Amino acid sequence: MAEGDTILRAARRLDAALTGETVAATAPNPRGRAARVERLDGRRLDAVESHGKNLLLRFGDVVLHSHMGMNGSWHVYPRGAPWRKPRRSAWAVLAGEKQEAVQFGGPTLRLLAADRARRDPQLARLGPDVLAPELALEAILQGLRTDPARGLGDALLDQTVVAGIGNIFKSEACFAARVDPWRPVGDIGDEDLRAVLLAARELMLAAVADRRHAYAVYRARRPCPVCHGRISSRGQGDANRTTYWCPHCQA
């Protein structure tokens, strides 16, 4: 699933391409027509925002909400240039004077009234964004503390506690801070929790800038880069998302 770094990077790319322009909006795929994307035709894109794994394109009194899930994506092309995917698979096309943004797939694409978006249950329940300009660190700590028996790795994936962290940066941040992702949150001090959250933020912002991930433990096929021991992995939490960690360095 796309994590917060991917969404922030997409938001910046769309913002640079189309913000301030009046767009021609089309929906080649039935899914986009069901989302009423064509209602955006002739509207001005005022802003593009990200919150965790959610992308919000603001057009005056309406908002296009996109969640890319595992397979969704937004592409930006010079207008009229060939696309990397077939036209029939595009859910939404937003064309400006010189560039166009094309959205393919994902679990969520919907048009909301701007006033409804502010109180929409799916968006209102999100926790603070780990990549927000000002990190609400203490609010996230308070959210983590509400379930002290929960394993740290599982808690970091809870988007109602902290928005944007996914399986990659859950594992990488715990390793960077040398904290065991299996420890119950209640057994971890504030200093270590802050270190994990700040590591997640730093690693994700680096990924935004570099467009690539330098993995230390995630899906590791090589020994631990610090102790050279074997990286462990197994499913964690109700969703059984795989956690990767070094049993020696994160003991």
- Domains in the chain, start-ordered, CATH in brackets? 4-124 (3.20.190.10), 137-245 (1.10.8.50)
Partners of 73 in beta bridges: 104
Q: State how far the Cα of 102 lies from the Cα of 140, in Å rounded to an integer.
A: 34
pLDDT score at 4: 94
Pick the closest to residue 73 from 47, 97, 92 (CA basis): 92
Q: Is the predicted pLDDT of residue 213 greater than 80, yes or no?
A: no
- Please, are residues 194 and 141 in contact by the beta-carbon 8 Å criterion? yes
Nearby residues of 169 by Cβ (< 8 Å), 6 or more positions away? 3, 4, 5, 200, 203, 204
Q: What is the pLDDT of residues 106-154, one digit of tens each?
A: 899 999 999 988 889 999 999 999 999 999 999 999 999 999 999 999 9
CA atoms 150, 154, 159, 164: torsion sign: positive
pLDDT score at 52: 95
Helical pair 4-18 and 190-210, crossing angle rounded to 10 deg: 40
Q: Is the predicted pLDDT of residue 211 greater than 70, yes or no?
A: yes
**246: number of CA atoms within 13 Å, CB side?**
25
- Please, are residues 165 and 4 in contact by the beta-carbon 8 Å criterion? yes
Q: State how far the Cα of 143 lies from the Cα of 29, in Å rounded to an integer.
A: 39
pLDDT score at 195: 98
CA 106 to chain centre: 13
Nearby residues of 202 by Cβ (< 8 Å), 6 or more positions away? 176
Q: Is the predicted pLDDT of residue 88 greater than 70, yes or no?
A: yes
Task: Tell me 184's DSSP state.
Answer: B
Q: Where are the alpha helices (DSSP H) in 19-148?
A: 30-34, 114-117, 121-124, 137-145
Q: Where are the alpha helices (DSSP H) in the chain?
A: 4-18, 30-34, 114-117, 121-124, 137-145, 152-156, 167-176, 190-210
